[in-house]
Structure 1
Amino acid sequence: MSTLKGKTLFITGASRGIGLAIAKRAARDGANIVIAAKTSAPHPKLPGTIYSAAEEIEQAGGKALPLMVDIRQDEQIHDAVKQAVERFGGIDICVNNASAISLTGTLETPMKKFDLMFGVNVRGTYATTQACLPELLKAKNPHVLTLSPPLSMKQKWFQGHVAYTMAKYGMSMCVLGMSEEFRERGVAFNALWPRTTIATAAVNMLGGQDMMDASRTPEIMADAAHAILTRDSRACTGHFFIDDDVLREAGVTDFAKYLVKPGTEPLPDFFID
Structure 2
Amino acid sequence: MSTLAGKTILMSGGSRGIGLAIALRAARDGANIALMAKTDTPHPKLEGTVHSAAEQIRAAGGQALPIVGDVRNDDDITEAVLKTQGEFGGIDIVVNNASVIDLSGSLDLAAKKYDLMQDVNVRGTFMLSRAALPILKDAENPHILSLSPPLNTTPRWLGAHTAYSMAKFGMTMATLGLAAEFAKDGVAANTLWPETTIATAAVQFALGGDRMMKVSRTPDVYADAAYAVMLQPAREYTGQTLIVEDVLRAAGVTDFSGYAAVPGTPDSALFPDIFL
Tell me the TM-score normalised to structure 2 length. Answer: 0.97
8 Å CA contact retained: 1:100, 1:120: yes
- Give the structure 2 partner of residue 113 of structure 1: 113
User: Aligned partners of 2:153, 2:64: CA distance in 1, in Å?
Assistant: 39
Q: Which amino acid letter does the alignment assign opposite residue 248 of structure 1?
A: R
- SS of the residue corresponding to residue 11 of structure 1 reads strand
Letter matched to residue 11 of structure 2? I
Q: Deviations over 1:152-177 (max 9, x none)?
A: 22110011310000000000001221
In structure 2, what is the equivalent of residue 255 of structure 1? 256
Provide Cα deviations, 1:133-164, integer angstroms capped at 9, x if missing partner.
11101111000000000002211001131000
Describe the SS at the equivalent of 2:173.
Answer: helix
Give the count of matched residue pairs: 272
Secondary structure of the corresponding residue to residue 176 of structure 1: helix
* Amino acid corresponding to residue 106 of structure 1 in structure 2: S
Deviation at 1:212, TM superposition (A): 0.6
Report what 2:232 is aligned to. 231
Structure 2 gap ranges (5+): none
Taking the aligned partners of 1:179 and 1:85, their CA distance within structure 2 comes to 22
* One of 264, 270, 274 as aligned partner of 1:270: 274
Amino acid at match of 1:72: R
Partner of 1:156: 156
What's 1:245 paired with? 246
Decide whether the 8 Å contact of 2:126 with 2:175 is kept in 1.
no
Query: How many angstroms apart in 2 are the aligned matches of 1:167 and 1:230?
Result: 28
Which residue is equivalent to 1:24? 24
CA drift of 1:263 comes to 2.7
Map 1:1-273 onto structure 2 (within 5 A).
1-206=1-206, 207-264=208-265, 265-272=269-276
1:262 to partner: Cα distance: 2.0
- Cα distance in structure 2, aligned partners of 1:17 and 1:69: 18
Instruction: Give yes or no for contact 2:197–2:271 (8 Å, CA) kept in 1.
Output: yes
Amino acid at match of 2:121: N
How far apart, in 2, do the equivalents of 1:155 and 1:176 lie? 22
The alpha carbon displacement at 1:24 in A equals: 0.2
Query: Which structure 1 residue ranges, 5 or more long, are not aligned?
Result: none
Partner SS state of residue 235, structure 2: coil
AA at the equivalent of 1:252: V
